[in-house]
Homo-oligomer: A and B are copies of this chain.
């Protein structure tokens, strides 16, 4: 999977818009913006919706989480192989709403490499972002948990967290893609994320709860592109 910055990852979470027809609608909007504006777009729907989205759209679909297991007798668990099987291109892992242990994250990144899946690991503070970037996932997102879902963008309210993350991560990992998450709700927030040196954003409620998701995505995409140039 080739990702050209700027990148927008849409974490669907489990809102009432995250399932069924609206799930598809938002994915289509993301695809159109990706095509029209030339940004990289990833959608991360709930596990039950992955197969449907994969067959309907061309942009990469990620799982929001997978379990750190191999295939076998694991009732109620989803191994990385399962989302590969339904056509997902990768997975988010260690989101603040679904944290994992560091040995589990390490195992999942290793498994992803073997399966040809891409990984996006979340971190809450710059030190943890640096630590986890040593495990070599494809992307790392910095998300101060206290800002998630607030509409107060980390890129505006705590720019030093982003700057510090970029600094600390780059000391130990030159190539990892760094994203900004938590509270991103406007085009301006998205632009700021790029200006602070990250390659894109991890966004959720601003899109999932929007009256016009496509408009929100379009404005964010255009603002990020403008900041890049």
Contact = CB atoms under 8 A, between A and B. Distances in A.
B50 A76 contact: no
Given A75-B64, A82-B19, A69 B102 contact: no
B71 A16 contact: yes
B14 A71 contact: yes
Contact of A127 (B46, B134, B205): B134
A71 B74 CA distance: 25
A123 to B, nearest CB: 8
Contacts of A77: 14, 97-98
Q: How large is the interface on A (under 10, 10 to 19, 20 to 34, 35 or more residues)?
A: 35 or more
A148 to B, nearest CB: 7
Nearest to A64: B76
A36 interface: no
A149 B65 CA distance: 26
B73 A149 contact: yes
Interface in A109-167: 123-125, 127-128, 130-132, 134-136, 148-149
Nearest to A171: B172
Given A73-B205, A76-B64, A97-B76, A46 B106 contact: no
A149 B75 CA distance: 12
A42 to B, nearest CB: 14
Interface in A54-112: 63-65, 69, 71-79, 81-83, 85-86, 92, 94-103, 105-106
A51 interface: yes
A124 B69 CA distance: 16
Contacts of A128: 102-103, 106, 135
B73 A13 contact: yes
B85 A97 contact: no
Interface string A4-47: 00000001011110111000000000000000000000000011
